[in-house]
């Protein structure tokens, strides 16, 4: 930690700031998420640090609660996608044969469908809840994680220490979690940062299109949608969540790059 670069420090600071804001949103937000406290699109002031939105709600409070919702959904969907995709990818690589072929061809079929269009079709016939969004986003994104996990695991699967584990009679689950996973963490960690940002953009896009988080609840994409008409009049309310998304994306990627550099500088392969 003493040799951490400035870029990683900046990334850690802003990433930590956003996540702390999401965790303690109820404590630090000056007003309620749907509380009308002023006139429409009031400018920044001592009372309203970021001004008000299109119906007079405090924009800072909306941003804090919106960050909580956006980060929670994105983080949960990312964990689901990596858990599902990694386990299936490792299983396909280690097992091989018809299991690998069946899983790979099914994943190819899902990937061939445009992700956003597929999500819009599903959400148009299902109730739009936080749980549904997390499951849908996580399962759709797990196809990308599957491809990466399988590609990495195929290379590791032919290593001597994996063959030695097989000769010892170790089970498939043992090989996956004790041999494959520890040596596949570097690319997976780097990809996790990218997928998390993709999830932030994904849920924001769905909310902007009206099939994500439903009012009066807040998320960053919904705040952009609510205040987009103000851009015509020079009101920056819709730009604030866009800036938040951009800074979060840069910060998370700076941290992911630092972690990747640290893990790849360590000894790569290891035995069980």
The encoded tokens of residue 50 equal 């970021």
Q: Using CA atoms in the order 143, 148, 149, 154, what is the torsion angle rounded to 10 degrees?
A: 130
Q: How confident is the model at residue 1 (pLDDT cuts 50, 70, 90)?
A: low
Q: How many CB atoms lie within 10 A of CB 41?
A: 19
Could you say which DSSP state residue 158 is in?
T
Q: Which residue has the higher pLDDT, 16 or 158?
A: 16
Per-residue pLDDT tens for 202-250? 999 999 988 888 888 889 999 999 999 888 888 889 999 999 999 999 9
The encoded tokens of residue 28 equal 């630090």
- H helices of 96-180, in order, are 97-111, 115-125, 130-156, 160-167, 172-175
- The number of CA neighbours under 13 Å toward the Cβ of 45 is 10
> How many residues in total does the chain contain?
272
What is the overall mean pLDDT for the chain? Answer: 88
Residue 101 to residue 85: CA distance in whole angstroms: 15
Per-residue pLDDT tens for 35-54? 899 898 989 989 999 999 98
- Would you state the pLDDT for residue 158? 81
8-17, 95-104, 255-264: which range is least confident on average? 255-264
Residue 78 to residue 59: CA distance in whole angstroms: 27
52 phi, psi to nearest 5 deg? -120, 170
Residue 170 to residue 26: CA distance in whole angstroms: 49
Is a pLDDT exceeding 90 seen at residue 20? yes
Residue 138: is it exposed, middle or buried by C-beta count within 10 angstroms (0-12/13-18/19+)?
Answer: buried
- Would you state the pLDDT for residue 183? 83
Residue 217 to residue 46: CA distance in whole angstroms: 25
Residue 239 to residue 226: CA distance in whole angstroms: 11
Closest CA to 186 of 165, 160, 156: 156
Peptide bond into 216 cis (omega under 30): yes
Q: How confident is the model at residue 265 (pLDDT cuts 50, 70, 90)?
A: low
Residue 41 to residue 177: CA distance in whole angstroms: 53
- Would you state the pLDDT for residue 269? 45
> Burial code of 169-194, b = ≥16 C-beta within 10 A, e = fewer?
ebeeeebbebbbbebbbbebbbbbbe
Is a pLDDT exceeding 90 seen at residue 173? no
Residue 88 to residue 111: CA distance in whole angstroms: 15
Closest CA to 187 of 160, 159, 158, 147: 147
57-61, 80-84, 229-233, 257-261: which range is least confident on average? 257-261
- Would you state the pLDDT for residue 210? 87
Instruction: Give the chain's domains with CATH numbers.
Output: 6-265 (1.10.3720.10)
């Amino acid at each position: 930690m003493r040799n951490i670069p400035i870029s990683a420090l900046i990334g850690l600071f802003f990433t930590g700031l956003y996540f702390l804001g999401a965790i303690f949103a109820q404590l630090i937000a000056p007003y309620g998420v749907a509380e009308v406290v002023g006139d429409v699109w009031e400018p920044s002031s001592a009372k309203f640090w970021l001004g008000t939105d299109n119906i007079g709600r405090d924009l800072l409070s909306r941003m804090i609660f919106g960050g909580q919702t956006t980060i929670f959904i994105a983080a949960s969907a990312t964990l689901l996608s990596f858990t599902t995709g990694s386990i299936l990818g490792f299983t396909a690589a280690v097992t091989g044969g018809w299991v690998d072929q069946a899983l790979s061809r099914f994943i190819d079929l899902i990937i061939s469908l445009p992700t956003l269009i597929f999500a819009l079709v599903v959400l148009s016939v299902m109730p739009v809840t936080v749980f549904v969004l997390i499951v849908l986003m996580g399962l759709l994104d797990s196809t990308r994680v599957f491809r990466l996990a399988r590609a990495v695991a195929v290379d590791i699967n032919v290593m001597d220490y994996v063959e030695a584990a097989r000769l010892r009679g170790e089970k498939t689950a043992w090989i996956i979690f004790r041999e494959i996973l520890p040596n596949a963490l570097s690319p997976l960690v780097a990809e996790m940062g990218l997928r998390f940002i993709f999830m932030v953009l994904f849920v924001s896009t769905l909310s902007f299109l009206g099939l994500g988080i439903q009012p009066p609840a807040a998320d960053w994409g919904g705040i952009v949608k609510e205040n987009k008409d103000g851009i015509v009049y020079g009101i920056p309310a819709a730009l604030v969540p866009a800036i938040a998304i951009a800074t979060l994306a840069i910060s998370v990627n700076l941290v992911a790059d630092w972690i990747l550099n640290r893990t790849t500088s360590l000894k790569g392969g290891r035995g069980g």
